[in-house]
Amino acid sequence: MRTEIPEEFAGVESIFVRHRNVLMVRGSFPPIYTDYYLHLMQHGLRYPEHLDIALKDAMAMLALHLVARPWAETIAWTVNIRAPRVNLFTTGSSLHQQITGRCFTEDVRETDRNIFYSQTTVPDKESRRSSLEVDSTDPLEWIEKLYQRSEQRPGRAFRLPDETFVLLAAQPGYDAQWFSSIEPADISRLEQVEETKLLETRRFRWNCGCDLDRILPVLGTWRSEPDELFQGQEEITIQCPRCGAKFSVTRDMI
- The domain that holds 136 is classified in CATH as 3.55.30.10
Claim to verify: residue 98 and residue 131 sit in the same structural domain: yes
Range of the domain at 60: 10-206
Mean pLDDT for back-to-back runs of 10 residues, the chain (254 residues)? 64 97 98 97 95 97 97 96 91 95 90 93 93 94 95 95 97 97 94 96 95 82 78 87 92 78
Q: What's the pLDDT at 116?
A: 97
Number of structural domains (the chain) is 2
C-alpha distances out from residue 84 to 60, 80, 124, 134, Å: 22, 10, 38, 14
141 and 168 housed in the same domain: yes
3-state secondary structure of 155: strand
- pTM metric for this prediction: 0.91
Q: How far is CA 106 from CA 88, 109, 153, 196, 202, in A?
A: 12, 9, 36, 46, 35
